[in-house]
Structure 1
Amino acid sequence: MKLNSDYWEDRYQNNEIGWNVGKITTPIKNYIDQLKDKTIRILIPGAGNGYEFEYLIHKGFKNVFVVDFASTPLENIKIRIPNLDKNQLILSDFFELEGKYDLIIEQTFFCAIKPNLRENYVHKMNSLLNPKGKLAGLLFQFPLSENGPPFGGSIQEYKKLFEADFKIKYLEIAYNSIKSRKDNELFFIFLLK
């Protein structure tokens, strides 16, 4: 199976989006609520319908960007937030994205890419972050298999994958996950080395 833009567009067109909970999830909301500097540049890759993006915009953050492979979720964001700068919605392959950001929020993107691309993901995050930049969000915690997406992983795997490029500030089971993801999500904050 090719997890390309056609695959994801088809999933949206057929409403096969089981990961979509229809709102921002509690761990990400609580993390955003403690952010003070509303001028930082924030990226949300594989943003889907972008509820995190919408929340940030409503909280007064101006330099927020989403990137997605599929056009339908970006169109859904435009409908919900009609006065956006069109440059904030990026239709692109994440691995071809350019730019620099202070914070990248991870929410169901990492688990959607094939496991053989995970090292590329880490290197790309490294290249997109400004010095002292942060990568924060949620990673799934269940056995890794080829039967995805979503693809799982474990704390040990994530530490091994990220520790060369990032200082692991926090990586623990999310205490405030939504009910359907309870004990299967890890909240993390990684600082660029």
Structure 2
Amino acid sequence: MKLTKEYWSSRYIENNIPWDVGAITTPIKTYIDQLTNKDLKILIPGVGSGYELTYFYNNGFTNVYGLDISNEPINVFKKNNPHFPENQLIVDDFFNHNQTYDLIIEQTFFCALTPDLRPLYAAKMNQLLKNNGKLVGLLFAFPLTKQGPPFGGSIKEYESLFTPHFSINTLEICYNSIKPREKNELFIQFKKI
């Protein structure tokens, strides 16, 4: 299976999006709630339905951007959030994107990429972050299989993948995951080196 733009578009058209829990998840909300600098330039790649994007924007973070390879979720987001600035919604392949950010939020994007793209993801995240920028969010903590998405992984794998590009401040089992993801999520906070 090729995880192309057409693949992701069809998933949204068919409403076959089981990862979409209908709201921002507790770990990301808790992280956002402790941020005080509302001037941060923030990216959410693989933004999907954009619950995190909406939450940021509604809480005064106006320099926040959503990126998705497919028009479908972006169009749904626009319909549900007509006041959100359209120029902050980007339809593009993540690996072609070239702006820079203070903070990037990881929420079910990494796990949707085929595992062979993981080294490119880590390098690209480093490239997209400004000096001292952070990659924060969630990675799945279940065995990596060839079946997916989602694709899992382990702390050991993530450490070897990210340490060439980031200092690892936090990489631990999430204490406040939503019920269906309990003990299967790692909260991450990586700083660009």
TM superposition score category, shorter chain reference: over 0.9
1:4, 1:67 → 2: CA distance?
15
Q: For residue 128 of structure 1, what is the aligned residue in structure 2?
A: 128
Which amino acid in 2 is paired with 1:34? Answer: Q
1:188, 1:19 → 2: CA distance?
19
CA deviation vs aligned residue, 1:162-192 (integer Å, no higher than 9, x gap): 0111000001100100000000000010000
Q: How does 1:163-182 map to 2 (within 5 A)?
A: 163-182=163-182
- Of all paired residues, the percent bearing the same amino acid is 56
2:123, 2:172 → 1: CA distance?
22
1:147, 1:81 → 2: CA distance?
34
Q: For residue 145 of structure 2, what is the aligned residue in structure 1?
A: 145
1:84, 1:188 → 2: CA distance?
28
CA RMSD, Structure 1 to Structure 2 (Å): 0.6
Displacement of 1:84 in angstroms is 2.0
Please state whether the residue corresponding to 1:20 is helix, strand or coil.
coil
Q: How does 1:3-152 map to 2 (within 5 A)?
A: 3-152=3-152
Displacement of 1:86 in angstroms is 1.4
2:40, 2:163 → 1: CA distance?
24
Please state whether the residue corresponding to 1:18 is helix, strand or coil.
coil
Which amino acid in 1 is paired with 2:190? Answer: F
Please state whether the residue corresponding to 2:2 is helix, strand or coil.
coil
TM-score, reference length from structure 1:
0.99
Which amino acid in 2 is paired with 1:65? Answer: Y
Which amino acid in 2 is paired with 1:159? Answer: E
TM-score, reference length from structure 2:
0.99
Question: 5+ residue gaps in structure 2?
Answer: none
Question: 5+ residue gaps in structure 1?
Answer: none
Displacement of 1:76 in angstroms is 1.3
CA deviation vs aligned residue, 1:121-165 (integer Å, no higher than 9, x gap): 011101100000000000000000110000000001000100111
